Amino acid sequence: MNDIDYDRLSTAELNAIHAQLLEAYEAYKRQKLSLDMSRGKPCDEQLDLSLEMLDIVGSGDVLTDRSGLDSRNYGGLDGIPEAKDLFAQLLDVSPSELIIGGASSLTMMHDTLSRAMLHGVFGSSLPWGKLPAVKFICPSPGYDRHFAICELLGIEMIAIDMLQDGPDMDQVEKLAAGDDAVKGIWCVPKYSNPDGITYSDEVVDRLARMETCAGDFRIMWDDAYTVHHLADEPDRLKPMLAACKAAGHPDRVLMFSSTSKISFPGAGVAVMAGSENNMNFIRKQLAVQTIGPDKLNQLRHVRFFKGPAHIEAHMKKHAAIIKPKFEMVLNLLETELGGKRIASWNKPNGGYFISLNIMDGCARSVVRMAAEAGVTLTKAGATFPYGHDPRDRNIRIAPTFPTLSELKTAIEILCLCVQIMSIRTFLNRRGANGAETYV
Amino acid sequence: MNDIDYDRLSTAELNAIHAQLLEAYEAYKRQKLSLDMSRGKPCDEQLDLSLEMLDIVGSGDVLTDRSGLDSRNYGGLDGIPEAKDLFAQLLDVSPSELIIGGASSLTMMHDTLSRAMLHGVFGSSLPWGKLPAVKFICPSPGYDRHFAICELLGIEMIAIDMLQDGPDMDQVEKLAAGDDAVKGIWCVPKYSNPDGITYSDEVVDRLARMETCAGDFRIMWDDAYTVHHLADEPDRLKPMLAACKAAGHPDRVLMFSSTSKISFPGAGVAVMAGSENNMNFIRKQLAVQTIGPDKLNQLRHVRFFKGPAHIEAHMKKHAAIIKPKFEMVLNLLETELGGKRIASWNKPNGGYFISLNIMDGCARSVVRMAAEAGVTLTKAGATFPYGHDPRDRNIRIAPTFPTLSELKTAIEILCLCVQIMSIRTFLNRRGANGAETYV
């Protein structure tokens, strides 16, 4: 059924195809499947890559860090020195510009904005929570959990478009310069969630250089997929902290990353980075929140990963497992949806997602229809602020967790649903079904 | 020098003793010691008790929890089922009344009050941060890090007295009933920090029953030392959540605990507990802050500790290590300071501290003088809100971390400083030194 522009078919032809597709869909439905593609979770095989990490900090091993601090005991507010070194290399910052956290960078981002609301950020004249309004620029589609943090904290979200090289910088610059309530922007700058886009050097520079009405504007730079390459030639992201320093705005960016999808999502190491001013400001508050993060787990990670070269090799093993999954999804999308002018999607060089855009007004129906056949997708609209996709067209595909065979079935079902809903949309537009209107 | 009431000695006799003590002090000073008794840290020998825990969740072990969830992957917002079971037994609550956190109960307490400021607690009509004032009752001396959280969040602290069976309930009841800005109270109900006091049943019941002007009053119940016994006959604390339920105030208490001083301070498991209303309210916000805590570390703890009986046996091993330290401190205090009417102290049945009260106005000078001889004590005043001990008399002794021989030296120095400052106080009072006034 390749390369058929649905809209050029006659109503009778469309009805015939619709009947065929529906029959195939109903056949799947009868299988009572249960396939989950809702979240970007590594699969078991990926988790096994780091298994040895669980054996290298045992009762017989040295348990002190390089400074001599016993990793079992209290202390070490912002991490052990060797973990700082490792992450500093990964994030292109110096060790003093780093804070190591617990297992979750999401928690560090949440806490950073909570603190901003309660106490402000470095350079704020007032806690953000004391201001009449706080607004954040949200390139969309984006990461639903970023938006959930804003929603919880009452930070107003302004959705702007993602383009092929990052956020639409004309929109970003206008918003940042025009309103002192605009306090920040969310960015997933490399292999973005869900589009898989890596920001161009120009976008990085414009973000670093732009005029902001708020003196304490912050870029929340979630570099979650910094080493998560799929292509042989990895994308290269211009180092953001250096760009901000060069532009005379050293305190503008707060960077976040973690090993969640390098080692274990449930027991990784998270990190944040930024100027020493920013880090010292946060360290003071952090000293009230904690005596220190889990240092034994930092030891495990440092001893297992050794350095950037070893992490690079490790990530190639991840890629070898998940790349076939991405390729299968892309091939199926091309086979089933290509040439019909009903869908478009990205071909990411890294990251965890494929972002599928279908006909306007169809995403929620497709997600619901897929769910009825046992395929759980990320909730439609989740990739937009307040869960509201204005065109109701974006579907986030997370190919990593299911097996290849599960994935194949799930994507086949998804493609059936997309085609069925597309045909119904065409038919409804034509009003050609008389009394029968597809919804 | 035992059993000499200093104040009954002549000025000449006091001057003579002062000279002797000063000579001994100066001799210690010349040794250029470096002894740290500032924090309640377990010693290496205690940490070794849990070493095997590091070997039981290895690459060859089952890594799923009882529900089948892979502990390496995402998920499990509030802990794995077997960890909930274990802590539920320890804290006398049901598993649904628990949330397992990361490694730090301090973080859970900080985050709970941060959330209260930003969003309120279950039943609040407004976030506490939107109110003109928020006040907390702070039984003092107490835990400095509790007070630091209040100070960071701008919660006004009202110091009230600790009596022999808990906080002065007459004061507590009056404050709680009289002012709707009074939103809570800090409690370390068992082997309190620093007094080592366990709340009596009557205190527990009065806290549970009392009238509070604020409908969303919360007891921050930091049960840090719940199994940390030193005496053969452990103190018994009346279960607080049950008492609150019985009194018709099921949502009043939020309980906190951790394994920091059971397993590893730097890599333990923390927990909070309370009514299902409270826990569900917090779970909703927690779902935005994190995808879940470190589940592998929970597995380690559950497999190592098995159940309450095993924890009890484990804590006896801790006691065997630290009890001689407590006994030595108590013996030295008795030998050096007893009968002189210059100091009093508690004899705790558990916990981590000995609380020493010396003559009014002497604590800061003694801590400074000890520091000059290389003995670091907890900062004077730290056990009171805003670091202000109104009588400047309380010194917190943390005997667990140093070796017995280090501890002996440190306490001898401390006792010298206390005696010297006491004598100076007596002499100053008498104005007997002419031009020379000891300060």
CATH, residue B41: 3.90.1150.10
| Domain presence at residue B112 | yes
Domain end, chosen from B305, B324, B353, is at B305
pLDDT score of B219: 98
On whether both B280 and B332 belong to a single domain, the answer is: no
* pLDDT for residue A2 is more than 60: no
pLDDT score of A1: 46
Residue B49: closest C-alpha in chain A: A59
Nearest CA of chain A to the CA of B377: how many Å? 17
Nearest CA of chain B to the CA of A122: how many Å? 15
- Provide, as residue numbers in chain A, all residues whose Cβ is less than 8 Å from the Cβ of B75: 266
Could you tell me the pLDDT band of residue A7, with boundaries at 50, 70 and 90?
confident
Tens-place pLDDT, residues B388-410: 999 999 999 999 999 999 999 99
A102 Cα distance to chain centroid: 19
Which is nearest to A382 in space by CA: A394, A374, A371?
A394
On whether both A211 and A156 belong to a single domain, the answer is: yes
Could you tell me the pLDDT band of residue B434, with boundaries at 50, 70 and 90?
very low
pLDDT score of B3: 65
Domain span at residue B195 reads 63-305
Average the pLDDT over A84-112 and give the result: 97
On whether both A263 and A366 belong to a single domain, the answer is: no
CA atoms within a 13 Å half-sphere pointing along the CA-CB vector of B432: 15
pLDDT score of B4: 81
Could you tell me what percent of chain B has a pLDDT over 90? 95
Nearest CA of chain B to the CA of A56: how many Å? 9
Nearest CA of chain B to the CA of A363: how many Å? 24
C-beta atoms of A291 and B265 within 8 A: yes
User: Which of A54, A56, A71, A110 is the best substitution to test chain B (most B C-beta atoms within 10 A)?
Assistant: A54
Tens-place pLDDT, residues A65-82: 999 999 999 999 999 999
Q: How many CB pairs under 8 A join A and B?
A: 153
Could you tell me the pLDDT band of residue A3, with boundaries at 50, 70 and 90?
low
| Domain presence at residue B129 | yes
C-beta atoms of A51 and B42 within 8 A: no
Q: Name, in order, each residue with C-beta under 8 angstroms of A286's C-beta and a sequence gap of 6 or more.
A: A77, A78, A99
Query: What b/e readout covers A153-185, taking b as 16+ CB neighbours within 10 angstroms?
Result: bebbbbbbebbeebbebebbbebbeeebbbbbb
Find the farthest-apart pair of alpha carbons in chain A and give their distance in angstroms, rounded. 80
DSSP code at position A180: T
| Domain presence at residue A168 | yes
- Provide, as residue numbers in chain B, all residues whose Cβ is less than 8 Å from the Cβ of A106: 289-291
Average the pLDDT over B13-19 and give the result: 96
Give me the residues paired with residue B166 across strands.
B163
On whether both A281 and A142 belong to a single domain, the answer is: yes
| Domain presence at residue A172 | yes
Which is nearest to A265 in space by CA: A86, A99, A49, A79?
A49
Give me the residues paired with residue A70 across strands.
A64
| Domain presence at residue A144 | yes
- Provide, as residue numbers in chain B, all residues whose Cβ is less than 8 Å from the Cβ of A44: 70
On whether both B32 and B151 belong to a single domain, the answer is: no
C-beta atoms of B288 and A104 within 8 A: no
C-beta atoms of A54 and B153 within 8 A: no
Residue A102: closest C-alpha in chain B: B102
- Provide, as residue numbers in chain B, all residues whose Cβ is less than 8 Å from the Cβ of A105: none
On whether both A188 and A86 belong to a single domain, the answer is: yes
Distance CA B298, CA B84 (A): 9
Q: Name, in order, each residue with C-beta under 8 angstroms of B353's C-beta and a sequence gap of 6 or more.
A: B40, B193, B194, B195, B196, B396, B397, B398, B399
Distance CA B36, CA B327 (A): 18
Which is nearest to B259 in space by CA: B282, B285, B227, B217?
B227
On whether both A271 and A366 belong to a single domain, the answer is: no
Amino acid B214 reads A
Could you tell me the pLDDT band of residue A434, with boundaries at 50, 70 and 90?
very low
On whether both B135 and B264 belong to a single domain, the answer is: yes
Domain end, chosen from B249, B276, B305, is at B305
Could you tell me what percent of chain A has a pLDDT over 90? 95
Amino acid A103 reads A
Q: How many domains does chain B have?
A: 2
In this complex, which of B57, B74, B285 lies closest to A265 when CB atoms are compared?
Answer: B74
Tens-place pLDDT, residues A222-260: 999 999 999 999 999 999 999 999 999 999 999 999 999
Give the mean pLDDT of chain A: 95
On whether both A316 and A301 belong to a single domain, the answer is: no
In this complex, which of A54, A117, A296 lies closest to B267 when CB atoms are compared?
Answer: A296
Q: What are phi and psi of A154, to 5 degrees?
A: 70, 25
Beta strands in B149-286 (DSSP E): 156-163, 166-167, 182-187, 218-222, 253-258, 270-273
User: Which of B48, B56, B107 is the best substitution to test chain A (most A C-beta atoms within 10 A)?
Assistant: B107
pLDDT score of B94: 97
On whether both A40 and A76 belong to a single domain, the answer is: no
Could you tell me what percent of chain A has a pLDDT over 70? 97
- Strands A182-187 and A135-140, sheet pairing: parallel
Instruction: Write down the ipTM of this complex.
Output: 0.95
* pLDDT for residue B125 is more than 70: yes
| Domain presence at residue B293 | yes
Residue A62: closest C-alpha in chain B: B51
Tens-place pLDDT, residues B270-309: 999 999 999 999 999 999 999 999 999 999 999 999 999 9
Give me the residues paired with residue A271 across strands.
A100, A257
Q: Name, in order, each residue with C-beta under 8 angstroms of A32's C-beta and a sequence gap of 6 or more.
A: A374
C-beta atoms of B292 and A54 within 8 A: no
Give the CATH number, domain containing residue A296.
Answer: 3.40.640.10
* pLDDT for residue A358 is more than 80: yes
CA distance to A186, A323, A343, B160, per residue, from A196 (Å): 15, 14, 17, 57
C-beta atoms of A57 and B59 within 8 A: no
Radius of gyration of chain A (CA): 23
pLDDT score of B439: 45
Residue A269: closest C-alpha in chain B: B294
Give me the residues paired with residue A279 across strands.
none
Distance CA A363, CA A342 (A): 12
Distance CA A384, CA A159 (A): 7
Could you tell me the pLDDT band of residue A277, with boundaries at 50, 70 and 90?
very high
DSSP code at position B74: S
